[in-house]
């Protein structure tokens, strides 16, 4: 059925059906065509259209299944299940940071342990190292802390990071260390601007080539951190070569 153009009276007559979406498609289209050019505004039609959405309020409130919430929200954020706004808006920065650190720690621990390394010694090592990595991440988030990249001196050699807080606390993390033999130890040296290398301590190492050291008071600024392999513990001057080093600005 083709629809003839409608005049104002015909539009008003069909206003109820139009407002309810109950017209045949061609009739509704004819009304839209009319409205697009008519300068009378058809306030009655506009009012009926405004009243229709209010009808929804007459429905009974019925609780949907709990699982529907996740379904609804998953489609707008597939990667990140959202949390209720109310519980986190009060202290968003703190929660975000703690959440970030927790994720970082989890990633580190999972990454370090791997899937097959269930030997307790490796697990403990990894947890120890992971704990230091987490502590380093926390330290790095403090105001005024600096991160120093410890670049390997030779390709394939050990490298890592030192995080130095404003108050001199520092955590040194190394990876890719070769196994030591006999009485050998990895020694960390800190060198203040223009000063001589001072031993900061020995790295605690894991069987999979990682090591860490916590330092109570590193000098700053102009700090250089270096790592050497010493034949014995207790060295007072570094034995060359320097395996990895880095300086802060």
Q: Which of 2, 5, 9, 21 binds another protein (CB under 8 A)?
A: 21
The whole-angstrom separation of Cα 25 and Cα 33 is 12
Closer by beta carbon to another protein, 155 or else 249:
249
Closer by beta carbon to another protein, 54 or else 118:
54
For the CB of residue 64, give the shortest distance to another protein in the complex, in Å.
4
The whole-angstrom separation of Cα 210 and Cα 133 is 11
Closer by beta carbon to another protein, 63 or else 156:
63
The whole-angstrom separation of Cα 56 and Cα 114 is 55
Size of site (CB under 8 A) for another protein: 74
What does the per-residue mask of binding to another protein show for 144-163, with x meaning CB under 8 A?
Answer: xxxxx---------------
What's the count of helices (H) and strands (E) in the chain, helices before strands?
8, 9
Q: Which of 84, 179, 182, 194 binds another protein (CB under 8 A)?
A: 84
Q: Does residue 249 contact residue 221 with C-beta atoms inside 8 Å? A: yes
Contact between 5 and another protein by CB under 8 A: the answer reads no
Closer by beta carbon to another protein, 48 or else 104:
48
What does the per-residue mask of binding to another protein show for 41-80, with x meaning CB under 8 A?
Answer: xxxxxxxxxxxxxxxxxxxxxxxxx--xx-xxx-xxx--x
Q: Does residue 139 contact residue 168 with C-beta atoms inside 8 Å? A: no
Rounded-to-10 torsion of CA 84, 89, 90, 93: 120
Tokens of 48: 């009926």
| Class of residue 131 by CB neighbours under 10 A (exposed 0-12, middle 13-18, buried 19+) | middle
Interface segment toward another protein; rule CB under 8 A; list 24-32, 113-121, 187-195, 197-205: 24-32
Contact between 8 and another protein by CB under 8 A: the answer reads no
């Amino acid at each position: 059925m083709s629809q003839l153009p409608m005049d104002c009276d015909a539009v008003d007559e069909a206003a109820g059906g139009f407002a309810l979406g109950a017209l045949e498609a061609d009739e509704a289209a004819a009304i839209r065509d009319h409205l697009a050019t008519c300068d009378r505004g058809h306030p009655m039609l506009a009012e009926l259209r405004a009243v229709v959405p209010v009808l929804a309020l007459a429905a009974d409130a019925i609780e949907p299944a709990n699982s529907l919430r996740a379904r609804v929200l998953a489609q707008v954020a597939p990667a990140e299940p959202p949390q209720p706004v109310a519980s986190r808006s009060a202290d968003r920065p703190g929660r975000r940071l703690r959440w970030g650190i927790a994720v970082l720690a989890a990633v580190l621990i999972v990454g370090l342990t791997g899937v097959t390394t269930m030997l307790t010694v490796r697990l403990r090592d990894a947890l120890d190292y992971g704990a230091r990595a987490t502590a380093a991440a926390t330290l790095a988030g403090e105001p005024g802390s600096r991160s120093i990249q410890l670049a390997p001196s030779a390709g394939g050699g050990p490298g890592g990071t030192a995080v130095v807080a404003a108050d001199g606390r520092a955590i040194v993390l190394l990876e890719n260390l070769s196994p030591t033999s006999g009485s050998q130890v990895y020694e960390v040296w800190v060198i203040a601007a223009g000063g001589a290398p001072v031993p900061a301590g020995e790295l605690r190492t894991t069987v999979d080539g990682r090591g860490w050291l916590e330092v109570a008071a590193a000098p700053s600024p102009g700090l250089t951190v270096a790592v050497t392999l010493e034949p014995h513990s207790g060295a007072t001057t570094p034995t060359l070569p320097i395996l990895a080093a880095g300086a802060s600005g």
